[in-house]
Structure 1
Amino acid sequence: MIKSTLITLLLSSSALLSMHAFSSSIEFAECGENKRDNGKEDCVWSDYIGAKQMPPWAVSYNTENGEYNSETVYICRDSGNVLGRAVKGVCYVPWYGREYAHSSNFQVLTMDPNNYEWQVETLRIDIDGNIKRPGKYLVKGSQEGSYPTYVCGVRDGHNIFRTGKLVNGHCWYGAGGREWNYPLSSGRVEVLYYTGYYAN
């Protein structure tokens, strides 16, 4: 009887989790893929559909309500789940010293604008369990070796917004065909936090 009850509870939990395109641990949030149902899902990686049209609720990075690039920067990831920035229908990602541009086969992060916020961080919040932010979760991109990657953004030395991947205490981003980075300790790095329903 006890064994049967446990199995029922496990199956119920699995079914409940599969209903949502979102999962979380204490340290980070992982968004689902293309599972938005009538706009109700909290956090989804949506396929880019082309024609320079971003999907609804695409997450942008333009803090202080400014668009210093004269264009909006969105969060994207390529087919290898490398985080980057989407501008005018192209996803630019940093990888091993270079910047790569993808005009197709990439995804855009989408969330209700009430469910996320950008925040400057100077401490090593990317170390699992190191720092807790009640009601907030880093948004995970993927894994590079033994390091998880999270969504981050910087305003570079030219006052241009760039987004990329937070890895091992640095925000890595692409610009001018190369990969660049700022450490968290620089005070120039902002991280994306999920603050929606599942964070409470």
Structure 2
Amino acid sequence: MQKMKMHTKVAYIKAPIYNLENIKRNPPVFFLIICITILCVFNSLLTTNDSMSNSEILDLLSKINISSIRLQIVLTAIALITLITNSLIGYLVLACIFKIIFILMRYEVKFSKVIFSTYYMSLIGLMMMFLNVLISYFVNNGKIQLYTNLSFLASENSFSAALLQLLDPFILFQFVILYLFVKKVVKLKKWQAQLFTSGYIIIFITVQLLSVVIS
């Protein structure tokens, strides 16, 4: 079997829905996993700078016999493992749930296409994180804030901040990708695609608000 060329793989990133709909071969899931992993590495390295300036971390350094470099390595490793778990394993579980729903609805779609779509949503989320961390690094001395939405204007860990995060263009783009995928690739009817996406958005909002309550 001929390997997929690099420009074709990049084309999937540029126009995922068009390629998933019109190209019958399996999408480049492994290539997307590599892109996600690279972003996870960059994000974990940049977020560690914010962690090292945390007062609790500085207090920990003063109490235990460990160098700041070693602690930074440990924190980077923890951040990387957490990001990869959320970005790969979490969205793999989401793809499995979607596939089960499509089977129950009697719609045939390759699992590789389902997982590519969920991983693409993961990639969008990581790009949002990377942009915010990068802006924070230059604008806010490394202290991370979400500049792609207006949540930084509200109190931290508040319901208003959680709701403002939903207006982030990256998150809205995730919802659009999901809707287009179920409508054009899975071939759900318009009302089914709207209902499916609305259900996902409601669950997403609920999780966001619950995270505020827990914190």
TM range (shorter): under 0.3
TM-score, structure 1 normalization: 0.25
| Structure (1/2) with the larger helix percentage | 2
Q: TM-score, normalised by structure 2?
A: 0.24
| Higher normalized strand content (fraction of residues) | 1
